[in-house]
Amino acid sequence: MTADLSPNSPSPRPYRQHSTESLLSPTERGVMGVLGLAALTLSLRGGALERLLLGAVGVGLAGMAATGTNPLATALKIRQNEEGDTLVSDAITVGKSPEDLYAVWRNLTNLPLLMRHLKSVEVLDERRSRWTVPGPVGDVSWEAELTADEPGRRIAWQSLPGAAVENSGEVLFRPAPGDRGTEIRVNLAYRAPGGTTGAVIARLTGQEPSQQLRDDLLRFKREQELGYYPTTEGQSSGRAAKGGQQ
Amino acid sequence: MKAVVWQGTNKVGVERVPDPTLILQTDAIVRVTSTAICGSDLHLLDGFIPGMERGDIVGHEFMGEIVEVGRDVRNVKVGDRVVVPFNLACGVCDPCRRGLFSACDNSNPAPNARTVEALYGAMSPGGLFGYTHMFGGYAGGQAQFVRVPFADVGCFKIESDLRDEQVLFLTDIFPTGYQAAEQCGIVPGRDVVAVFGAGPVGQFAARSALMLGAAHVIVIDRVPERLGMAEAAGCQVINYEKEDVLLALRDATGGRGPDHVIDGVGLEAHGHGPGALLDTAEQKMRMSFDRITAVRWAILSCAKGGTVSMPGVYAGLVDKFPLGAAFGKGLTFRLGQTHTHRYVLPLLDRIQSGQIDPSFVITHRASLDEAPELYKTFRDKHDGCVKVVLDPWGQPGEVQKV
């Protein structure tokens, strides 16, 4: 399948594998610089507490603008590459063969079952597919193309120009040592709306893809090893008795 | 149905809640005939274990009769009398296949497992009945009915005519005490074992150490009734409020220290000294989850090359941990939740052959309605209370003291 893809085609974008430093875009640095200076100016007036707070905020923002890094993002381990893409990766070991797991993943229409935040994936042809996610103001969809397809080893894709959220990704499969099945590694890169700041807000509200990816991989492992995923949804409790959920 | 419900810190109550139903086809519903209050339930009552929600049905030591099974349940059927380990195991993941059932990869649902990973830095252990949502928040068995997920793995049939009270503790405290002794690697006829805490787990650990051939077993506590129970099994006892426990243990072992020390106490240890005071202060300010006096004493008393085995529950980060002593003496630490499923049948054999009758530990019997009162009696160690067994179908009324 998709024989025109070179088995050794490189990853769509370089990954700085374990760097934990976050870089701000020039726009973000500009905005933070202006806000920081404004806060510092305001801190020259007012009561002692206001001065202290505004001064601290001003120094923080100006410092972020000057150094081009976001310590909050760094603390939250939000990773970015040179181009300002947010990088997300994770790994899990699943007790099945690489061939079996690759086959599940390669059937792209399965992906919404694996990744809960995807609404649908429509296969357009051998290489191209249309991905749809629900957004805060209606569905967002984009087209993506496969950039690598190595049965039992690797699948990679990249969004086509014009995507609302530019993104790329790859899934790697390799046998785990001993009789433990397959180590799956997922690498994703996306241009976060709002840059680093947007990524920080998303992380703090639990919407950031690294959290979604972890849940997805934990569900995928359970689905593959058990044939279902364990749940307590719908179980009895003292909350149900009072008309609440569960 | 009636169930014991967590209503907030220091508050459990008996409430009418909906009967459980099958959610997955691998579930069974068990009509509970006997259930018990466990020392680790007290950590929930006291609010030291994070992740409880008001309305959670508690209880993880229970047994009963299967009244409904899902389509995919093969090993048990309606009418079977079963005991159910307190931890949930899927039976198919890599840890389960290696017999490490409490380390099951799959039984803690995905979002809950991710929370634990954030704290533990690696994959979550398995789910637990009637415990914090960190470990699934599965509805517990201090109730008239309970849903048992992974029924094929978690339901062990009892076919003999042993009474409930003789087999009920196969669900937790007997395997927990036994595993604590087993993982010491006792050399029969040679090794001396000390057990901190003469509560239910300590009682089973001490008796298990004797069954495994320990030359001598010493039990440490401060409650006379509990020490008396250990003495009746043939153990030497030390009351740490009356003696300096470290000196007493040296004296009892010719200056060597016990070859293995079991901490059957866990995160609510009492005790003396500046470390114990600081632990208590930090715990009261919620700066720390754990009071670790028992572990400190275990490390300091243990003989060179010995084992510190810890069935007691711990939750978070600790300080003033005598790591240098542990290093200097070359100690081995064995800890963690019990791989209960591994022990149910071998220990059932020991009960059937008369080597032990686990009902020795029971001091109080009552109906489920008396649970809130008895949680407090058990916590405060009033009235000689060591172990409480509840009948979910009994008439509300008097507490029967053994």
The Cα B13–Cα A118 span in angstroms is 42
Does the beta-carbon distance from B138 to A232 stay under 8 Å? yes
Closest CA to B391 of B12, B11, B31: B31
User: Chain A: nearest CA to B187, how far in angstroms?
Assistant: 32
The Cα A35–Cα A37 span in angstroms is 6
Counting beta carbons within 10 angstroms of the beta carbon of residue A245, is it exposed (0 to 12), middle (13 to 18) or buried (19 or more)?
exposed
Least CB-CB distance to B109: which of A211, A225, A232?
Answer: A232
Task: With residue A212 as reference, give the H or E element that holds it.
Answer: helix A209-226
Least CB-CB distance to A234: which of B23, B109, B138?
Answer: B23
The Cα B270–Cα B277 span in angstroms is 9
Is B22 in the A-facing interface, judged by CB distances under 8 Å?
no
Q: Is the pLDDT of residue A10 over 60?
A: no
Q: How far is CA A122 from CA A167, A169, B250, B365, in A?
A: 17, 17, 73, 62
- Tens of pLDDT, residue by residue over B241-257, are 999 999 999 999 999 99
Residue with tokens 């510190």: B308
Q: Is the pLDDT of residue A206 over 70?
A: no
Is B125 in the A-facing interface, judged by CB distances under 8 Å?
no
Residues in A touching B147 (Cβ below 8 Å): 235-236
Digit-by-digit pLDDT tens for chain B (402 residues) are 999 999 999 999 999 999 999 999 999 999 999 999 999 999 899 888 889 999 999 999 999 999 999 999 999 999 999 999 999 999 999 999 999 999 999 999 988 998 899 888 888 999 999 999 999 999 999 999 999 999 999 999 999 999 999 999 999 999 999 999 999 999 999 999 999 999 999 999 999 999 999 999 999 999 999 999 999 999 999 999 999 999 999 999 999 999 999 999 988 777 677 777 777 777 776 666 677 889 999 999 999 999 999 998 887 788 889 999 999 999 999 999 999 999 999 999 999 999 999 999 999 999 999 999 999 999 999 999 999 999 999 999 878 998
Residue type, position B352, single letter: Q
The Cα B389–Cα B212 span in angstroms is 27
Q: How far is CA B402 from CA B271, B360, B385, in A?
A: 29, 10, 10
pLDDT at A194: 65
Residue with tokens 């992906």: A111
Does the beta-carbon distance from A225 to B18 stay under 8 Å? no
pLDDT at B26: 98
Q: Is the pLDDT of residue A246 over 90?
A: no
Q: Is the pLDDT of residue A245 over 80?
A: no
Does the beta-carbon distance from B106 to A225 stay under 8 Å? yes
ipTM above 0.85, yes or no: yes
Does the beta-carbon distance from A238 to B17 stay under 8 Å? yes
* CA nearest to B7 within chain A: A238
Residues in A touching B32 (Cβ below 8 Å): none
Please, what is the angle between helix B200-211 and helix B173-182, to 10°?
Answer: 50
In the numeric block, which tokens belong to residue A88? Answer: 């997300």
Residue A123 pairs in a beta bridge with: A129
Beta-carbon contacts of B251 under 8 Å, excluding residues fewer than 6 positions away, are none
Q: How far is CA B238 from CA B77, B205, B226, B378, in A?
A: 48, 16, 11, 21
Strands B192-196 and B216-221: parallel
Buried/exposed A24-57: b ≥16 CB within 10 Å, e otherwise: bbeebbebbeebbeebbeebeeeeeeeeeebeeb
The Cα B200–Cα B210 span in angstroms is 16
Closest CA to A166 of A235, A81, A230: A81
pTM of the model: 0.86
Is B119 in the A-facing interface, judged by CB distances under 8 Å?
no
* CA nearest to B19 within chain A: A236
In contact, B58 and B8? CB cutoff 8 Å: no
The Cα B27–Cα B14 span in angstroms is 25
User: Chain B: nearest CA to A192, how far in angstroms?
Assistant: 23
